[in-house]
């Protein structure tokens, strides 16, 4: 049964969705479908999936020239959304590795979302992928310390630790720490690695990510 249908039923019965509402991110997902219909990606490439920090990494292939990258980030997405669209943004590609950046929007979306809730959503996504591919390596890029969302940093830190501990007990899984690498000596996020919105990164920020992620990519 498609993942999206399962989640749709859950949302419907919990009052979080109605027939009158359009599916979120429909335009972005349809663009992926259209792109894939014109030029289907090759199998055994590395899939990057998640939220806008990947969406805006439009030149990601240049950062990892030794690897073939498929970028399926869609801006504003939460882990719930990646789960909902797993049949569109994960399972069509038969990747040799999956790299996930998501969870930041889950925390910012509702002030009451706990670190455990975010971790549980990631665990759900992890287990959905494992139910189809039990050996494909999965890497989670830690939730970053965005200056514009500084009030959420305690939840971010706790969520990162919970996910790190979960992945530490799993085979073919990795936790990639970018959080600590984005901090200045005073413990605050480096101000010069973000664009004006103080949420998304500039090239200097992505260079930090490249250095953190590269050692974990499958050859």
Threshold 0.85, pTM exceeds: yes
Q: Which residues of the chain have pLDDT under 70?
A: 1-22
The mean predicted confidence, pLDDT, of the chain is: 92
Query: Residue 1's pLDDT is what?
Result: 47
> 28-216: what CATH class?
alpha beta
Nearest to 64 by CA among 90, 50, 45, 91: 45
Beta bridge partners of 71: 48
Beta bridge partners of 175: 140
**Cβ 98 vs Cβ 140: under 8 Å:** no
**Cβ 86 vs Cβ 129: under 8 Å:** yes
Sheet holding 97-101, edge to edge: 69-73, 46-50, 97-101, 138-141, 173-176
Query: Residue 111's pLDDT is what?
Result: 85
Query: Residue 18's pLDDT is what?
Result: 43
Retrieve residue 215's tokens.
Answer: 């050692």
User: Per-domain residue ranges for the chain?
Assistant: 28-216
Query: Residue 9's pLDDT is what?
Result: 41
């Amino acid at each position: 049964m498609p993942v999206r249908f399962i989640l749709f039923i859950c949302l419907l019965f919990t009052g979080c969705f109605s027939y009158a509402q359009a599916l979120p991110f429909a335009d972005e997902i349809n663009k992926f479908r259209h792109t894939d219909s014109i030029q289907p990606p090759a199998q055994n490439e590395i899939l990057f999936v998640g939220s806008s920090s990947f969406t805006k990494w439009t030149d990601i292939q240049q950062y990892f020239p030794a690897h073939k990258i498929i970028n399926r980030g869609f801006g504003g997405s939460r882990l719930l959304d990646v789960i909902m669209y797993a049949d569109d943004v994960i399972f069509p590609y038969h990747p040799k590795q999956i790299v996930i950046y998501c969870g930041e929007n889950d925390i910012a979306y509702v002030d009451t979302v706990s670190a455990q809730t975010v971790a549980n959503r990631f665990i759900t996504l992890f287990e959905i992928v494992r139910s189809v591919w039990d050996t494909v390596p999965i890497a989670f890029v830690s939730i970053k310390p965005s200056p514009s969302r500084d009030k959420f940093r305690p939840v971010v830190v706790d969520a990162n630790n919970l996910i790190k501990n979960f992945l530490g007990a799993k085979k073919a899984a990795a936790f990639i720490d970018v959080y600590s690498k984005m901090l200045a000596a005073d413990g605050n996020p480096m101000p010069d690695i973000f664009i004006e919105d103080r949420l998304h990164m500039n090239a200097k920020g992505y260079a930090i990510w490249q250095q953190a992620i590269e050692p974990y990519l499958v050859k």
